[in-house]
Amino acid sequence: MAGGPVKMPAREKPQFGLTEKELPAIKDWAVGKKYILTLNVEMVSSSKGSDYDVPLGSDGKRKEIHNARFKILSVDSMPSENAEAE
């Protein structure tokens, strides 16, 4: 193999979807704007280990990353005048 270590692509930020049933305010929101949400969640799993896209540590080994999955129980938004984050 030629060259040094292979750099893995950065992990994408988590995404989730909502309908107007869970958050009626989304009907009046615009794509590309930023909003503040409050989530009530339940952790459903937790693990620690190497992931395929975690960076190498200074020792050349993969770092162990703590991972968790959550179930969204409820979601709310800031009042409309404060909804868009700066």
- Three-state SS across the chain? CCCCCCCCCCCCCCCCCCCCCCCHHHHHCCCCCCECEEEEEEEEEEEEECCCCCCECCCCCECCEEEEEEEEEEEEECCHHHCECC
Q: Do 48 and 19 meet the contact criterion of CB atoms below 8 Å apart?
A: no
pTM: 0.62
Question: Mind listing the pLDDT tens digit for each residue in 16-27?
Answer: 999 999 999 999
Q: What is the mean pLDDT of the chain?
A: 81
